[in-house]
Structure 1
Amino acid sequence: MGESLLGGYEGMYQTYYQRILEEVEAIKTENDYERKSHAFAHWYLMNIRGLSDDDISEYITDGFNDWGIDAVIIDEAKEIIELYQFKLPDKVSNIDKLIGKDEIETFLRGYKICSSGKAPGNANDELKEKIKEILDSDIFTFKMVFVGYSGGLSETAQIILDGELKYIKDTGNKIYWELFDKERIANVIYSSKKTFEDFEIELKQSGSSTGILTSENSASYTIYCSLEELADICEKHKEIIFDENVRLFHGAGNKFNKGIIETAASPDEVINFQLYNNGIVMVSPNVKYIDTRKKLKIRNPMVVNGCQTMNSLLETKSQGKLLEGYVQVKVIEVNDPQIRQNISIFLNSQTEIKDSYLISNLPIIRQLEIDLSEKGYFLERQANKVQTLKKLLSKKEKANVFGLNQNKTISLELAIQLYATFYENMGPIAKKDKSLLFTNENLSIIFKNINAERVICCFELYQRILEVIKSYRQYIRNSRKRAILEYLSIRGMKEAREYTFLNTADIYLLSLFSQFSQKDVCSFDKIGKIVSNHSEWTFQVNEKFDEILLKSIGIMKETIKEQSDNKSIATLTKSQFFHKTLLEKVGMSYFVSS
């Protein structure tokens, strides 16, 4: 495929850089970051990695004496530790510079420190805490991710990296490498495509006819193909046909892919495969349709939707279980670069469906969406619903629907997480692995009493807690932002450092807040008896918000001090035992003060 097919992609880098730079500057100002690299880390983790602002603050270690490690994510569910280094050129003329050996050597040195579990004495506090957390995690698989809006690795840097990675792997350690350079960053955000070697595939129409729809700048061909044919194409071209999407295949063990494999291998189900599957979408610069032979010849196809399906079919075939069946394939011939980019944006911007969205069509969730809407809140019941509506609504309409800065928007996942923490005492699950909230056992508990009023209550209280946490982070980054000192009744940075647990304590603080609220007003089962209704209960709790939150923070500070000798703070703030200890202390402090 020639460069022209990418729509002047290379010439767009400057535009992308300016746009990213503006967003980074805004993040820097909003979060009081001292360094642009810190803000760029935040930008990447939010826009590319898809993390929330609050999660990001837990992961960033960038700053003086960070030893080349700008962020650390410990993914306990996948049992992998992600180490990040971020580089944003200071001016547009530097975006073509290659990544040098010094940067790679620095990053590798940081990996060695993190994997050793021993922090240098002069390492910053954030890095020291993360290294303790790594040690506590008992996870030994690492992934190094270098993110730089610049060129790729220089030849020397590549040689050094390859040699060091081979040495690490030869010692028996598992380590992965991933590079997000300016090309890949732009590809991910705007779904533009890289060039690759020419190749051609053929698809045969199974069924009576091919659906063809043409326009001035495109032609769409819709056919039904045999599952075996697609498995063969995947096997032959999987390193090319998915381009970057090949990394999205999550393996045969993924529950969604297991479903595809089971259907393709079942004599009773495979005949309906095309009814159960959304199909596959490919784009190509050149498609030839041979009507007499019911065949499509497709040059340089790129699968933009259906990577999971094709890889699952290949897996089924490799197990010798693939049966005769069919699935719909849409092939779009298009050369207009803007159209190609739009197709990719609309189809490739989707992430894997979260567990929360599996319950989105249940009647109780649909009713919750309606009830929240009547109270002025927007429940994002379906994945990507907010982003879809944003494209259709005016600025005024968006403010009406989502609230100012989306302050009236609640994702379904967050609604379940906060409700389970506040009302069902599931803080440890909600903090450590919130996907477990969506098991049948836990949902049966959550669904008993969840309603719009309760979701709004815990959501608004959580937002107020986050404001206090944000105020703390602002002071740590900028000592002139002193509001938190007055709030906590402390005098300066030395005392403020005793509250570093606030960075990771959001869910457990909400859980503590719930316990104190029930002690100070009344328990949930007494609403309607001691206080007239839930609205009155919520009003009284909000009136005592600062008093209750400060007690919660105090209990946590005291407990952290007792238990932090052998465990990192981040480990404690998602530990079930630590949570149990906190709740026991709430009971003790209540009865002492009564």
Structure 2
Amino acid sequence: MLNLDYANLIKIVQPYKVVGREENSAFLSWFLVNLYRLDIIAVQNIVCDGRGDKGIDGIYVNENEECIDVFQSKTVQNSSKTLGDTQLKEFVGSLRQLETADGIDSIISTTGNTQLKNLLIDYRDIFISSKYIIRGMFVTNANKDSNAESFLQSTSATTNLEVWDRDLIAQMYINSEKSIPATSEIAFDVFGFDYIDYNVDNIARVVLAPLSAVDLVNMEGIHNQQLFDLNLRKDLGKTKVNKDITNSISNSSEHSNFILYHNGITIICDKLDTLEKDKIKIQGYSVVNGCQTVSSLYENRARVTQDLRILTRIIQVVQNQVDLISKITYNSNNQNGIKARDFRSNTPTQVRLQQEVAHNYPGYFYEIKRGDNPNQSIVIENTLAGQILLSFDLKRPWAVQNFNKIFDDSHQEIFARPEVTGGRIVVLFDLYKEIEKDLCKIEPPLFRSYQVTKFFLLYLLSEVMADNEVGKDFCRKPEKYYKTANHKANLLECIHVILGDLIIDLNGEFEEEGGENFDFKSTFKAPNLLRNLTNKVINSHKKLIARGRVESFSQLWEKLANQEQQKT
């Protein structure tokens, strides 16, 4: 259970502390990253806590929920202190000011908080539009008392207010940091060899030594890959690099030269001991660079000898230096053949999604790094998840072909949004797999074999779903429709029916455009041409719904729900 007592809280939020701002601001920033799911860059742009903030500590336009989330955070030092209704009433007063153009203009003209002023100027038109509602988000490390509960109940009909108190935060929190594995002590024999030992600014100790492969293959966690949890990727199998390493291991006459041929490895550890002569001991360790080398040595451990040594950098990091571990991992791999996806593999956003899928959907495995071992689970590769979110949420199926941007320029936009949960990814992945089953219905066959077709159909599906109330609700929170096995079966049946209808409309459009002669590739590279095709298909589908020829998602869902009730 997450401990939000003040003494522990200030340690947790320390990485988010900004000079000149109080713990409240750091606490809110931590919450926005770890519970609300924003990227730290976005958080820094929306937090405005400080003098003259008018009771408004942050503002975020939540397009998925079609609301403007206004945040206020409060920390208490006494763990027995509770949240009453006084602060909530004051916060509601601040929210009321944002409901009218005059109220917003008054804050803009009177506030001395430049960041709040600029946020209100930027969002002024959105605040006063009828499309978005204003939702208050009160964040605190205290628990609500009966007065707060009564106030929330009495104002629920007139005010959109959510309170994230101590218990709710602890309940919803999922750790997004990967820690060094708790491995037992191992000793490396360095008899007859010199090594370098030095401290770095009292935050890390580094030992550089030629370690024997015989000792290295005895490290814990190689066989199940846990030793490489902090690495950007895991064992990639029979790659050219691994084959070259294996060839060097196979030739025993080359073992003494192995240290000349290979770059070496980097190990991060909790404990490092060189007190015993000719021994280097470590405990609580992880290999952050050199996974392929160590894996190859382990696979060929029967052939290694004491002559085969690897230049190894062992780094003992002072506790709570999570950012430093990430930087060491990044820079240790920066000169290798690492892809943008690898560099994102240990970010809080990706780790949190993997943990959520593992915890809530045990039949699935969210793969965030190459070489992850999913056992017998259904694997959802995070590159595919990014393509799915690009198509369904962001409605840009033409962009799925640029893999690098998914984990580079577009990573924050795709993954770091409040609505992107492990549940969302699992449900949308299953919709994608349902699409794969129906590809055989598409005519002409050339189009069904085109890779972007699946993502285009997912995009069409999102447009159709958003055109009715139940579908809109699904798009906001699809995991609600996976609460039971019956819910899941009903959802996939609805999707199957809608896809069948859409494909008939799509085939008709292709036939009008010349069938096999239709320029698919040019259309899918030009957003305006793709939107034009989409509009034709969607308009045709709407007409059929209006005439009662086909059923909308709302109608299908309600029909299946009624059938389920009749059975019970």
Greater percentage in helix = 1
The normalised TM-score by structure 2 is 0.38
Bigger-Rg structure (1/2): 2
